[in-house]
Chains A and B, each alone.
Chain A
């Protein structure tokens, strides 16, 4: 059975000032197997973030439904951890307190929390920074904390909305390896939205390419590159072939987007 089922999910925004309603997302069907790492690749404005937010329960679909472990999603919950593109650490909490936030909301005792927090601090390589405020951290460290914060809750699925989009290229590469390394060691179902082709291929066991707005699924590509993956993989012929194919797919959509404006 699929871990996550997206059934005919679409989204239409009401028109502004009596204008025509805007369709952001055509009905989408997607089945995600447990422990799959799925990247959703699409041009900007294609509705890929909207789709992810619907899975998170932060937005309601206009039609269709989302099922996680057979249960319909109606609102956000700790079973779907999310990492946002913007830095969303709570600025009044330290790194450790941020990671502990979900556990605290659940009412877990402090003693028990501390052990879990320490293990996730370690996992994302932030030992020594436990008592720093978010403001004192670089963008990459903030996103590492955000990943640890989402994982500490032990969600059924991890949702990431262009989490490395605001980072510089080198940091982004390191973050990709870090996240992939975590996934390789502790299997988790992941939905990862990005507009970066290389990132989409490198991370994924399956890449979903979306069309320009209104978004729908254009292609569904299984990535059969071996694990564990090393950054040198990005220069291998197999990787390049995949990249060439997806670049072509995406280019057509990007042109459509550009023409629409």
Chain B
């Protein structure tokens, strides 16, 4: 095969789908063919059956909704704090010198390890779930945005100065719009991570949500339900990612043109 040679759109779709087919076929073969113990891994058909029962009889869609709300709630909370701070750090070097060492350190604190502490502080209600996502996302967003803003094209800034911009105008009418698409792209990325944190938060001290259903299914060895839950998370993640991408494209037509 020629390196870096593009593939036709048709072939790309066919290849992309065929891996899914291959994957499910392999899964069906080892489970339905009796190559693994059914207790540890459900086959695709019973997974679908379990999923259907979950949705129809156990009102699983309520769990889905509550999980979605937690992800977006925590994510919005983190964004509202992190975006202005990140911009401030990137734009004003003293602010960066003041906050950067702490934020860099805080970034490595694992959000999941905060769960016991957050339960002590905020109980096992919704606030605790939001805070887990907040802690997991906020420092990441701050740092990435600060770096992007810090690398704003200097020639654009200089051009604005020669056109009469004052310091304030540089930040508001050059630095912010110049980095807006990158900031939105960063948020899209971090939203993906927020899905990981929410499940961890729901595995501990929770009585609703997709994560709760998964941990609950474990004790009943309902592997079909667990796999169904995981697939639902994947699908929602994919959908929100698509929506976010489309929204960014609509918001920043100039960055693609």
Chain A contact residues, CB within 8 Å of chain B? 56-58, 75-78, 80-82, 84, 86, 88, 90-93, 101-102, 104-106, 133-136, 149-150, 153, 159
The reply to whether A133 and B162 form a contact with Cβ atoms under 8 Å apart is no
Task: Name A76's contact: one of B155, B158, B254 (CB within 8 Å).
Answer: B158
Residue numbers in A under 8 Å from B153 (CB-CB): 88
Residue numbers in B under 8 Å from A88 (CB-CB): 153, 155-156, 158-159
By beta carbon, the residue of chain A nearest B177 is: A92
25 contacts between A and B (CB under 8 A): A75-B161, A77-B161, A78-B162, A78-B163, A80-B162, A82-B162, A84-B158, A88-B153, A88-B159, A90-B160, A91-B178, A91-B254, A92-B177, A92-B178, A92-B252, A93-B177, A101-B163, A101-B173, A105-B160, A105-B173, A106-B164, A135-B254, A136-B257, A153-B164, A159-B162
The reply to whether A91 and B162 form a contact with Cβ atoms under 8 Å apart is no
Q: How far apart are A248's CB and chain B's nearest CB, in angstroms?
A: 34
The reply to whether A105 and B177 form a contact with Cβ atoms under 8 Å apart is no
Is B255 located at the chain interface by the 8 A CB criterion? yes
The reply to whether A76 and B255 form a contact with Cβ atoms under 8 Å apart is no
Residue numbers in B under 8 Å from A78 (CB-CB): 162-164
Q: How far is the CA of A136 from the CA of B165 in the complex (A)?
A: 26
The reply to whether B162 and A76 form a contact with Cβ atoms under 8 Å apart is yes
Is B174 located at the chain interface by the 8 A CB criterion? yes
Residue numbers in A under 8 Å from B254 (CB-CB): 91-93, 133-135
Chain B contact residues, CB within 8 Å of chain A? 153, 155-156, 158-166, 169, 173-174, 177-178, 180, 252-255, 257
A92-B252, A92-B254 known; A81-B163 Cβ under 8 A: yes
A90-B178, A91-B255, A133-B253 known; A102-B158 Cβ under 8 A: no
The reply to whether B164 and A102 form a contact with Cβ atoms under 8 Å apart is yes
Closest 9 CB pairs of A and B: A78-B164, A102-B163, A76-B161, A82-B162, A88-B159, A135-B257, A133-B254, A92-B177, A105-B164
By beta carbon, the residue of chain A nearest B176 is: A92
Q: How far apart are A73's CB and chain B's nearest CB, in angstroms?
A: 12
Residue numbers in B under 8 Å from A93 (CB-CB): 177, 254
A91-B255, A105-B173, A133-B257 known; A82-B159 Cβ under 8 A: yes
Q: How far is the CA of A220 from the CA of B173 in the complex (A)?
A: 41
A92-B177, A92-B178 known; A101-B253 Cβ under 8 A: no
Q: How far apart are A193's CB and chain B's nearest CB, in angstroms?
A: 14
Residue numbers in B under 8 Å from A106 (CB-CB): 164
Q: How far is the CA of A150 from the CA of B162 in the complex (A)?
A: 8
Task: Name A105's contact: one of B156, B165, B180 (CB within 8 Å).
Answer: B165
